[in-house]
Amino acid sequence: MTKYSNFKDHNLRQKYKKKDKQVFLFKSLLLNERNSSKIRFKIMLKLDRIYRELSYNKIKGRCMFSTKVRSISRMTNLTKSSFRDNLRLTNISGFKKAS
C-alpha cells in the first residue's frame, strides 16, 4: 500500500507546496509601495486566482489504508478501525493497550 492511497489529496498538497513560493513572491510585490497601482491591482487579481484554485480547506487528512476522512488520529494518520487492525497484526510497534 502506498503512503498516499488518495492521489487526489496528495496532488493537491503538492500543488499547494509549489504555489506557496509564488504566493510569497506576489505578496512581497504587492506590499512594495514603489510599484504603480495598476501593477499592484494585476498582482492582486493573480493572487485571488491562486487562492481560489488552491484553497487549503480542500485538503483533507485521510487514512493511509482505507482513505476515509472521518475519525483520523493526528499522530498516526489512521482511522480507529485500521489502527486497531494494524495493532492486532503487529504492523505498528510501540503502543500498549490502556486499561
Cα 9 to chain centroid, rounded? 7
Indicate if 13 and 55 belong to the same structural domain. Answer: yes
Indicate if 71 and 97 belong to the same structural domain. Answer: yes
Domain that residue 30 falls in: 1-59
Indicate if 51 and 74 belong to the same structural domain. Answer: no
The whole model's pTM is what?
0.47
Count how many domains the chain has: 2
Place of cell 488552491: 54
Q: How confident is the model at residue 77, as a pLDDT?
A: 77
Indicate if 68 and 52 belong to the same structural domain. Answer: no
Indicate if 65 and 52 belong to the same structural domain. Answer: no
| Cα separations in angstroms, 52 against 58, 67, 92 | 10, 25, 39
At 45-69, the pLDDT tens digits run: 998 888 887 766 666 777 777 777 7
